[in-house]
């Protein structure tokens, strides 16, 4: 039974990680083609545009994706099928409302007198629509993860979207179509639409939004849990995008492109750890609902231990092969090897302190995450602006890494004090027989 449980876990982990790695690899290959065919400046411009879109998508989603897995698990554990339908539809309605507000604001902006609107109108419209598509896709994925359909939930966004984007770029190059940042944005919007449609199909197939299901609402509770996550998600999930946007104001597009590639490799490596936690968190949340503290701690310890082992492997790999990986994009990108190590140092840090934001959220303590991550963002941006004149983009990377360390540390401490749950690897300190303890943790899986 133990070996069967572990084999099942590893199989699902392999599917998730393999799919996300393939998607991240597709993103890197797309970036490679853009850098080689259109130059580092075009890649830098597109990186800044996509970062802005990612930030906008967080506001359009209203924080619902961050709590979707938690509410989904709760409503399927009780169960409350009608409430799950209501929650899903509320998430979609918030995204549509955000889309409408964004369109109105954009129309007012472009209607201003003496504004040169010859080129930015189409880009602005595409950016808003793409942000909406991303918001819905991520929300649908989080719901599917809560239903323990992790493969369907995560791969629409992380595999299909980048694969379609890459294929469109290749097709355009083969057809001899000239690509600039605006046309590349249009291709990305098409790929986002395909991913959004597929995630919607997966949601429909679950049967939870069928017409015969009577919708139930807990609107006030949903808003109270979701809205604080707008800032938390913006800071926690889009730390990279915010630094790319800042760098676009401070450095030349080619320098933005170098930092972007270093971050892409860091994101690729981070997918493995996120896939691990995606496998464990639904069960951890259910155990919290069922008040089974001992089993919860066992699952959390195993998740953190596996994540830390993975993170150490990532750092060794980048230390050995970082120069080769960065050099693939061009001679000027080789200087980004140290950047890669700096920004990737956040992976073992997060593995050490564990999923503290998720622990806080599942116990109803969203505010600490908002406070800590907002403070971390402020520190990082100020430090980046201060350090850039001294160390260039390496100063921005260092600010990012330091802010992540202190943010993770503070969130762990706060979560432990408020909930009594130690989300970190430190809970393993004092274990007399680590090998036996690891076997016991694996044996706790069901």
Q: What tens digit of pLDDT does each residue of 83-108 get? A: 888 888 999 999 999 999 988 887 77
Which whole-number Å values give the CA distances from 103 to 64, 117, 182, 280, in the listed order? 21, 15, 19, 39
Rounded to two decimals, what is the model's pTM?
0.75
d(C-alpha 356, C-alpha 406), whole Å: 13
pLDDT surpasses 90 at 133:
yes
Token digits for 333?
A: 């990108």
CB-based contact 168:187 (threshold 8 Å) = yes
Give the Cβ contact number of residue 108 at 10 Å: 9
Question: pLDDT-derived band of residue 3, with 50, 70 and 90 as boundaries?
Answer: low
In which residue are the tokens 């800071």 written?
Answer: 235
CB-based contact 51:242 (threshold 8 Å) = yes
Max intra-chain CA distance, the chain: 73
CB-based contact 63:226 (threshold 8 Å) = yes
In which residue are the tokens 């160390």 written?
Answer: 391
Best CA proximity match to 143, nearest among 209, 212, 221, 219: 209
d(C-alpha 300, C-alpha 284), whole Å: 7
Residue 236 confidence (pLDDT): 67
Could you read off the pLDDT of 284-315 as tens digits, one per residue? Answer: 888 887 877 777 887 788 888 888 999 999 99
Burial class (CB in 10 A: 0-12, 13-18, 19+), 227: middle
Could you read off the pLDDT of 146-203 as tens digits, one per residue? Answer: 887 877 777 788 888 999 999 999 999 999 888 888 889 999 999 999 999 999 998 8
In terms of DSSP H, where are the helices of 111-180? 120-146, 150-155, 161-174
pLDDT surpasses 50 at 124:
yes
């Amino acid at each position: 039974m133990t070996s069967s449980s572990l084999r099942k876990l590893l199989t699902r982990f392999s599917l998730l990680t393999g799919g996300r790695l393939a998607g991240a690899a597709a993103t890197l290959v797309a970036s490679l083609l853009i850098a080689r065919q259109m130059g580092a400046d075009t890649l830098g411009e597109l990186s800044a545009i996509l970062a802005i879109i990612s930030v906008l998508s967080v506001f359009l989603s209203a924080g619902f994706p961050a709590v979707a897995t938690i509410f989904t698990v709760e409503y399927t554990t009780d169960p409350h099928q009608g409430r799950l339908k209501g929650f899903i539809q509320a998430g979609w309605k918030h995204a549509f409302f955000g889309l409408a507000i964004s369109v109105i604001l954009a129309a007012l902006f472009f209607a201003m007198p003496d504004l040169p609107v010859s080129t930015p109108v189409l880009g602005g419209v595409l950016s808003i629509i793409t942000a909406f598509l991303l918001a819905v896709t991520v929300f649908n994925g989080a719901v599917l993860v809560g239903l323990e359909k992790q493969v369907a939930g995560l791969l629409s966004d992380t595999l299909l979207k980048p694969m379609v984007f890459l294929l469109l770029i290749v097709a355009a190059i083969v057809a001899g179509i000239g690509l600039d940042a605006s046309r590349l944005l249009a291709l990305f919007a098409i790929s986002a639409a395909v991913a959004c449609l597929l995630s919607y199909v997966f949601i429909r197939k679950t049967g939870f939004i069928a017409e015969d299901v009577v919708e139930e609402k807990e609107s006030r509770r949903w808003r109270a849990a979701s809205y604080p996550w707008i800032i938390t998600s913006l800071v926690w999930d889009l730390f990279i995008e915010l630094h790319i946007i800042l760098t676009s104001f401070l450095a030349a597009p080619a320098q933005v492109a170098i930092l972007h590639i270093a971050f892409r490799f860091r994101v690729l490596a981070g997918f493995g750890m996120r896939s691990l936690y995606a496998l464990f968190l639904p069960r951890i949340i259910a155990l919290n609902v069922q008040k089974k503290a001992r089993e919860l701690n066992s699952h959390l310890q195993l998740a953190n231990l596996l994540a830390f082992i993975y993170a150490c492997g990532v750092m060794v790999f980048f230390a050995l092969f970082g120069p080769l990986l960065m050099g693939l994009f061009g001679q000027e990108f080789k200087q980004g090897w140290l950047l890669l190590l700096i920004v990737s140092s956040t992976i073992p840090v997060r593995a050490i302190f564990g999923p503290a934001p998720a622990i806080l959220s599942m116990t109803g303590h969203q505010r600490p995450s908002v406070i800590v991550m907002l403070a971390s963002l402020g520190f990082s941006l100020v430090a980046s602006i201060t350090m850039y004149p001294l160390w260039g983009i390496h100063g921005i990377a260092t600010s990012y890494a330091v802010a992540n360390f202190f943010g993770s540390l503070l969130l762990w401490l706060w979560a432990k004090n408020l909930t009594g749950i130690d989300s970190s690897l430190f809970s393993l300190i004092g274990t007399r027989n680590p090998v036996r303890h690891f076997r016991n943790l694996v044996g706790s899986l069901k």
